[in-house]
A and B are shown apart, each in its own frame.
Chain A
Amino acid sequence: GAGVSQSPRYKVAKRGQDVALRCDPISGHVSLFWYQQALGQGPEFLTYFQNEAQLDKSGLPSDRFFAERPEGSVSTLKIQRTQQEDSAVYLCASSLARTAEAFFGQGTRLTVV
């Protein structure tokens, strides 16, 4: 596609509900990143894929967070048993190579009520 696509754009979840956030990277981009961004803060790193391999998941805040990219293209970030503190914008970015710039999707704004 022309750019990084994320869906849904907005998600309201009841506390305790599971959610799945989707990211469609730019075609051919090898690297894929997930970030969490709270209001007024910079993006906080969650996890990173090189093709289908999850090379770094050190930023995932708890074992309720899980990410996958099974075929090295589309990625899904899953949050189980959502809590209010999970409310944030979740940004996905992709890049062509290890030393290239990353391009961001529009993000998914998750609100847990």
Chain B
Amino acid sequence: GQNIDQPTEMTATEGAIVQINCTYQTSGFNGLFWYQQHAGEAPTFLSYNVLDGLEEKGRFSSFLSRSKGYSYLLLKELQMKDSASYLCAVRDDKIIFGKGTRLHILP
């Protein structure tokens, strides 16, 4: 079966660092994605990991361990505009999403 788990909600402070974890069990694997979704808007692509290790892109980094079925998204220097839902997704042929982590940023 397909299963993607991530925390439902997290809270962090402006300027701080937050790590959002994702574990997955899927029948196939062709990569793991992180998307950001603001309320009422479409998901927007953040990162893509297909090999183990850390991918850094500005304030956002994403890590993958295929042997552990584990990924995290690291957000640094948090800004109020980072308040959104963060979706972990795995692709075999189709792309399957987790339920998303709602991140609240406090001033």
Contact = CB atoms under 8 A, between A and B. Distances in A.
A4 to B, nearest CB: 8
Interface string B7-30: 000000000000000000000001
B100 A42 contact: yes
Given A43-B87, A98-B30, A99-B30, A104 B42 contact: yes
A41 interface: yes
B95 A33 contact: yes
A24 B100 CA distance: 26
A45 B94 contact: yes
Contacts of B31: 99
Contacts of A48: 93-94
Nearest to A4: B42
Which bucket holds chain B's interface residue count? 20 to 34
A32 to B, nearest CB: 11
Contacts, number: 51
B93 A98 contact: yes
A101 B94 contact: no
Nearest to B31: A99
Given A91-B42, A98-B30, A41 B100 contact: yes
Interface string B74-86: 0000000000010
A33 B41 contact: no
B45 to A, nearest CB: 5
Nearest to B97: A42
A43 B30 CA distance: 19
Interface string A61-72: 000000000000
B50 A33 contact: no
Interface centre among B31, B45, B85 (most CB of A within 10 A): B45
Contact of A101 (B45, B98, B99): B45
Given A42-B87, A42-B100, A99-B30, A106 B41 contact: yes
Interface of B: 30-31, 33, 41-45, 48, 50, 85, 87, 91, 93-100, 102
